[in-house]
Amino acid sequence: MKIFVDNRPFDVHAGQSLLQACLTLGFDLPYFCWHPAMGSVGACRQCAVKQYKDEADKRGRIVMSCMTPVTEDLRISVKDAEVSAFRAGVIEGLMISHPHDCPVCDEGGECHLQDMTVMTGHNYRRYRFNKRTFRNQYLGPFVNHEMNRCIQCYRCVRYYREYTGGRDLDVFALRNLAYFGRYEDGVLENEFAGNLVEICPTGVFTDKTLKHHYTRKWDLQMAPSVCVHCALGCNTTAGERYGSLRRIVNRYNGEVNGYFLCDRGRFGYEFVNHKDRIRQPLARKNGRLRPVTRSEALSQLRSILSGAKLAGIASPRASLEANFVLRALVGPERFYAGVSEAQYRLTAAIIELLKTGPAHTPSLREIERSDAVLILGEDVTNVAPRMALALRQSVRQAAFRLAEKLHIPVWLDHPVREAAQDLRSPLFVAATHGTKLDDVAKEAFHAAPLEIARLGFAVAHAIDASAPEPANLSEEMRALASRIAEALKGASKPLVVSGTSLNSQEVVDAAANVAWALCRIGKPASLSFTLPECNSMGLALMGAKPFVEGMEAVRNGEADSLVVLENDLYRRTSRENVDALLATAQHVIVLDLLANPTTAKAEVVLPAGSFAEAEGTLVSSEGRAQRLFRVYAPGGDVQESWRWLRDMMAEAGRQEATAWETFDDVLGSTAQAIPAIHGAVGAAPPATFRLAGAKIPREPHRYSGRTAMLANISVSEPKPPEDADSPLSYTMEGYPEQPPPALTPYFWAPGWNSIQSVNAFQEEIAGPLRGGDPGVRLIEPRPGNGYRSCVSEAFVARGEAWLLAPLYHIFGSEELSPWAPAVSELAPQTYVALRPDDASRLGAEEGQEVEVQWNGTAHRLPVKFRADLPAGVAGLPVGLPGTECAGLPVWAKISKPL
């Protein structure tokens, strides 16, 4: 439809607010309380424009653009003198008590309030009276609180309470004393609290981890990156200064993470800077690992590699390219996936389900738009956190439908919420214990893994009678299944979420049956599986052999030496197995970032580049191949795993390795050799890409200190490092034009220094990035195939033993993030979770140690009560130091030690 802005006609989409339309058109219209993901509330009065009745109307009236829908032939003025003065007046009011903090404020330089103040032209303080002040709160290791800077836009509480469902942040007091914080000091409970840093347009909430090595946005060398802390592949911007990684911020990708990250992804980055990083090659001499030079290491490798029968252990947290060069080094016959047996089978099965079944894997945006969801066996918040935030939004679909019926625009946030009250589209959670999504779930079902699978099969059968039905269903479960089936059938975009958390083939099969049954009755159902690691999907697509076969090959002498790529094998199988494997192998070569039990047993350890020091392609659980880029050139001997492996090949006299000079060479060979990941080549433009003949600068145009930062070493500035692997450069020189989305190192637009500048990079506000959201989907469904057969035997609790179910912790269960001090502060100590009645049967109190025996090993663990566990089931946290958890669930004996 057509609107007139300052008498110029523009074409805009119907159904949006005037503010959105103006921003899409590129007008500099200031705002505070509106947020593209949260809609409008009209709280700040900053977005005023003048609206005219018709061409003849010269007086017009001031309206809030965020509260005004676009209508045909709407006439407005942004520039009008009166409305400009109004906006300047509003900001002057907001700034009355604003402290004189910019120089010591971490928001400075990327502050939306600064930008809006400059934009409105308010530049002189007239108010001469006292400022109100507040005391700050301790909010945990992630977020810093400086309340004086608040302008009462209410974004934080709207985000925290309404968007994420958090309870412990609120607004207190009244009038100019409105206080945004917790009831009392304490760690913010919500897993998405870190987004407050970007949500808050001022410096009230800032990144506390950044504060410890504070750097302004303009001084960061940045590159597009992808989060490595779970399999969802959220896009991030990583920034470096003086050779250390300084922070992660969200990088908008309309299909994936949108505007938000989880706290593990935002604050887990500090493992890169950890003092235990392996930064030099290590070699074993006289039984001890000692640092050696690169050439010593390579010559030692040469002697190891000559005549060795190598087996390679690939990694679900290394890039496709690194895994591929390992495959080339050891040969596809001896290329083993370094994941637990259960994970191996499950991911393979999942790929088959997704590739041969009719249900497609949704992006996070599609998940957000699903209007009925069944979660089978996943604690999504702790396993794939960002997906939980998307699922939480999905329940609002019913509210949006209602709003449409009532002719309320969906972006008019509070009227929609008022109209909907508690109306939610159905979400069902079936898990082994209570999850954080239970509060928006229509029903939550807590049962043993087998029962969860049976419920899934029953739902599938209730949807389509030709799907197999589990025998001996209880009446209760049958009724629940039919309620779920009805809800899913009534939806227009139903979604089934499951995953590998429970290590259960049955659960995964059941999820597929539900989605397929929906497809069969003509619903466009989607099916999403969470996976444990950032490249679990990529590794599975590469067709490596299972780890057990690798262990077997070493045991029977088919292979005598191991090359372990970025993998702590002790996380994959029992200690006994790994000890035996590493003892049998004559030579063990390990490439990794951080010292771990596997590197401790290696003969040679090579320093691998982390995600910030290497480029690579990761495939997310959606099946989306995404490229991440080096943020900085690592100093010393650290280099990408693929380069180490290539060097090893060259040492072994393998000619083909010499052809792999740059990343694109390896990527090309990878894609050619493995058809399943052929599409990965398109994830980003090649290194030869140029924008107006120039590379894309990683450093912003205001990068400072160029001629001083290294002057203490030598006053003659070194040439910046070259990057032959990507179209990005380690300089600030380049054409100031928007690069392709996959190559956008940071969001910054004239007049918009904060992260809100992303508006200028989108085709339309909150829509796809200009040029398309990055990433290439590698997995598409194929309609038609039969159901998975179902399990029939029900779960039976055993009096004397418990089924140990895996419990996941967003902070602690993943391998890398606990190396970040802030994350480790929130990671729990290991424990065993028992129902209070079970514990009292054992005579154990909370916190007391009990002896837990499984797979022939005994562990002493403190008890933690969890009343939400089903009878006969106990819980064991995954991935925390001190317990072996590969292969859960298992039956365990629990007793009170004497």
Partner 1 sequence: MFSILRTLWNILLHSFRPRVTIQYPDEKPYLAPRYRGRIILSRDPDGGERCVACYLCAVACPVDCISLQATEDEHGRRYPDFFRINFSRCIFCGYCEEACPTYAIQLTPDFEICEYDRQNLVYEKEDLLISGPGKYPDYSFWRVAGVQIGGKAKGESEREDAPADVRNLLP
- Comparing CB distances to ligand FES, the nearer of 31 and 642 is 31
Q: Mask 179-198, x = binds ligand SF4 (CB under 6 A)?
A: -x------------------
Q: Which residues pair with 758 in a beta bridge?
A: none
Taking CB under 8 A as the criterion, the residue among 306, 586, 658, 704 binding partner 1 is 704
113 binds, among ligand FES, partner 1, ligand SF4, none (CB under 5 to 8 A by kind): ligand SF4
Interaction between residue 149 and ligand SF4 (CB under 6 A): yes
219 binds, among ligand SF4, ligand FES, partner 1, none (CB under 5 to 8 A by kind): partner 1
- Written as six digits, the tokens of 255 are 């299909």
- Comparing CB distances to partner 1, the nearer of 529 and 746 is 746
* 3-state secondary structure (DSSP) of residue 330: helix
Task: Judge contact between 198 and 263, C-beta under 8 A.
Answer: no
- Written as six digits, the tokens of 370 are 């699903």
Q: Mask 37-76, x = binds ligand FES (CB under 6 A)?
A: -----xxxxxx----------------x-x----------
Query: What element of type H or E holds 891?
Result: strand 890-895
Q: Mask 173-192, x = binds partner 1 (CB under 8 A)?
A: xxx-x-x-x-----------
Write out the binding residues for partner 1, residues 60-99 only, by CB under 8 A: 99
Taking CB under 8 A as the criterion, the residue among 42, 69, 109, 836 binding partner 1 is 109
Report angle CA 482, 488, 492 to the nearest 5 degrees.
155
Write out the binding residues for partner 1, residues 450-479 only, by CB under 8 A: none
Taking CB under 6 A as the criterion, the residue among 12, 204, 249, 388 binding ligand SF4 is 204
User: What distance in Å separates the CA atoms of residue 670 and residue 677, rounded to the nearest whole number?
Assistant: 8
Report angle CA 630, 633, 636 to the nearest 5 degrees.
135
Interaction between residue 733 and partner 1 (CB under 8 A): no
Strand ranges for 755-885 from DSSP E: 776-777, 801-807, 832-834, 849-854, 857-865, 873-877
User: What distance in Å separates the CA atoms of residue 257 and residue 219, rounded to the nearest whole number?
Assistant: 25
Stretch that binds partner 1, among 102-110, 438-446, 799-807, 845-853 (CB under 8 A): 102-110
Task: Judge contact between 415 and 558, C-beta under 8 A.
Answer: no
Stretch that binds partner 1, among 212-220, 277-285, 288-296, 316-324 (CB under 8 A): 212-220
Write out the binding residues for ligand SF4, residues 151-180 only, by CB under 6 A: 151-156, 180
| β-strand pairing of 179-181 with 205-207 | unpaired
Q: Which of 410, 443, 406 is nearest to 427 (CA)?
A: 443
- The answer to whether the bond into 889 is cis (omega within 30° of 0) is yes
User: What distance in Å separates the CA atoms of residue 832 and residue 865, rounded to the nearest whole number?
Assistant: 9
- Written as six digits, the tokens of 593 are 């970032």
- Written as six digits, the tokens of 561 are 């030496």
- Comparing CB distances to ligand SF4, the nearer of 18 and 113 is 113
31 binds, among ligand FES, partner 1, ligand SF4, none (CB under 5 to 8 A by kind): ligand FES
Stretch that binds ligand SF4, among 17-25, 150-158, 302-310, 526-534 (CB under 6 A): 150-158
Q: How many residues bind ligand FES (CB under 6 A)?
A: 12
What is the spatial order of strands in the sheet that 616-619 belongs to?
616-619, 624-628, 776-777
CB of 543 to partner 1, least distance (A): 47
Q: Which of 70, 63, 60 is nearest to 49 (CA)?
A: 63
Q: Mask 127-166, x = binds partner 1 (CB under 8 A)?
A: -xxxxxxxxx---------x-xx-----------------
CB of 167 to ligand SF4, least distance (A): 16
CB of 31 to ligand FES, least distance (A): 4
User: What distance in Å separates the CA atoms of residue 650 and residue 645, rounded to the nearest whole number?
Assistant: 9
Q: Name the one residue in this structure whose structure tokens are 């609206």.
A: 51
User: What distance in Å separates the CA atoms of residue 420 and residue 432, rounded to the nearest whole number?
Assistant: 31
State whether the Cα torsion 701-707-710-716 is positive or negative.
positive
User: What distance in Å separates the CA atoms of residue 23 and residue 1, rounded to the nearest whole number?
Assistant: 16
φ/ψ region of 163 (left if φ > 0, alpha if ψ in -120 to 50, else beta) reads: alpha
735-774 CB burial, b ≥16 within 10 A, e <16: eeebbbbbbbbbbbbeebbbbbbbbbbbebbbebbeeebb
CB of 199 to ligand SF4, least distance (A): 6
Taking CB under 8 A as the criterion, the residue among 213, 355, 401, 489 binding partner 1 is 213
Number of Cα atoms under 13 Å in the Cβ half of residue 143: 32
Interaction between residue 457 and ligand FES (CB under 6 A): no
- Written as six digits, the tokens of 265 are 């992804």
46 binds, among ligand FES, ligand SF4, partner 1, none (CB under 5 to 8 A by kind): ligand FES
Query: Which phi and psi angles does 340 have, rounded to 5°?
Result: -65, 160
- Comparing CB distances to ligand FES, the nearer of 64 and 232 is 64
CB of 207 to partner 1, least distance (A): 14
CB of 400 to ligand SF4, least distance (A): 24
> What separation, in Å, do the N-terminal and C-terminal C-alpha atoms of the chain show?
79
156 binds, among partner 1, ligand SF4, ligand FES, none (CB under 5 to 8 A by kind): ligand SF4
Taking CB under 8 A as the criterion, the residue among 198, 207, 219, 413 binding partner 1 is 219
64 binds, among ligand SF4, partner 1, ligand FES, none (CB under 5 to 8 A by kind): ligand FES
Q: How many residues bind ligand SF4 (CB under 6 A)?
A: 25
- Comparing CB distances to partner 1, the nearer of 148 and 257 is 148
Q: Name the one residue in this structure whose structure tokens are 């990156």.
A: 225
Angle formed by the axes of helices 547-555 and 341-356, to 10°?
140
CB of 578 to ligand FES, least distance (A): 57
Write out the binding residues for partner 1, residues 705-724 only, by CB under 8 A: 705-709, 711-712, 714-716
Identify the DSSP state of 299. Answer: H
175 binds, among ligand SF4, ligand FES, partner 1, none (CB under 5 to 8 A by kind): partner 1
Residues making contact with ligand SF4 (CB under 6 A): 98, 101-103, 105, 107-108, 111, 113-114, 149-156, 180, 199-204
Residues making contact with partner 1 (CB under 8 A): 99-104, 108-109, 128-136, 146, 148-149, 172-175, 177, 179, 181, 211, 213-216, 218-219, 242, 702-709, 711-712, 714-716
